[in-house]
Amino acid sequence: MAVLMGWPLIRVVWLSFQQYGLREITRGTTHWVGLDNYRKILGDPYLWTTVLPNTVGFAAGCVAATVVLGTLVALFLHTLPRRVRQVTAAAVLVAWAVPAITGTYVWVFLCDPGDGFVTHVLGGLGLIDTGQINWFLNRTSFFVIAGLNVVHHGFPFVAITVLAGLSTVPTDLYEAAIMDGAGAWRRFWNITVPALSPIFAVVTILSTIWDFKVFTQIYLMPGGGGTNKDVANLGVWSYATSFGQGKYGLGSAIAVLLTLLLLAITTVYLKTVFTQEEL
């Protein structure tokens, strides 16, 4: 763990205090600048007007959609007979097993401006002019497609986890609620949610961690690799700054900022887990 994770992390922090580019690499020299890289990042309006809103807003939307969809799928699976439930759950897990790279190219293919399935369907319905709209140039439509990709890849984890939790809720609670005249929504809100609150907390925090550091689903989409600056998040901005512009010190500082955000979220996750264990 120290070799594979500890040393790279230390190296990135070390580089974040340097002006480290191609010249320093070829000469084998270092140029210390202290906190200048962090001052440049925090003083750059691009961080506050584009990158941070993209990172936070995209993660928040994906987490909400993933948890809601995963919960609905879990509730549906819970109503199925055992054999059917097992087969259906296995089918749902296929989306989670597909690599992020493959899933991203599938969504790019589906939404291709010229030959994409979505483009042809909407064009056939007369909603758009086929070949006249490029979904990847617009910031909103770009993140909608990326969000669908992330949610499609992440909801099976939530569904299976919530489904496992539903099996632990006593059925007599639902039977008593039905006898008292409680509808499906009241049973869910007053029985299911309180009983599964630890599970909802864990899947929400884990989804937040994963969606904050989304890289592949953004970078591999047209324009997401840095050519369209309106759709960059912290991960893509760090990569493009480091390997696209050769500013490894500045890119490392951006990576450290993302790491600090993830550490804060992870701290909340650990506190939640330890609290639930104490209960």
The answer to whether residue 185 sits within a structural domain is yes
The pLDDT score that the predictor gives to residue 63 is 94
How far is 277 from 26, CA to CA, in rounded Å?
Answer: 52
How far is 7 from 12, CA to CA, in rounded Å?
Answer: 9
The answer to whether residue 156 sits within a structural domain is yes
How far is 17 from 54, CA to CA, in rounded Å?
Answer: 26
Vertex 151: Cα angle to 138 and 5 (nearest 5): 100
The answer to whether residue 4 sits within a structural domain is no
- Domain containing 64 equals 16-278
The answer to whether residue 8 sits within a structural domain is no
The answer to whether residue 1 sits within a structural domain is no
pTM over 0.75? The answer is yes
User: Is residue 16 a contact partner of residue 31, using CB atoms and an 8 Å limit?
Assistant: no
For 32, phi and psi rounded to 5 degrees?
-75, 135
The pLDDT score that the predictor gives to residue 276 is 63
The answer to whether residue 152 sits within a structural domain is yes
The CATH number for 200's domain is 1.10.3720.10
Domain total of the chain: 1
How far is 61 from 73, CA to CA, in rounded Å?
Answer: 18
The answer to whether residue 57 sits within a structural domain is yes
The pLDDT score that the predictor gives to residue 278 is 61
The answer to whether residue 6 sits within a structural domain is no
Per-residue pLDDT of the chain (279 residues; tens, 9 = 90+): 778 888 888 889 999 998 888 888 878 778 888 899 999 999 999 999 999 999 999 999 999 999 999 999 999 999 889 899 889 988 888 888 889 999 999 999 998 888 888 888 888 887 777 767 888 988 999 999 999 999 999 999 999 999 999 888 888 888 888 888 878 888 888 888 888 888 998 899 889 889 998 999 999 999 888 888 899 999 999 999 998 888 999 999 999 999 898 888 888 877 876 776 565
The pLDDT score that the predictor gives to residue 14 is 92
The pLDDT score that the predictor gives to residue 157 is 93
For 28, phi and psi rounded to 5 degrees?
70, 30
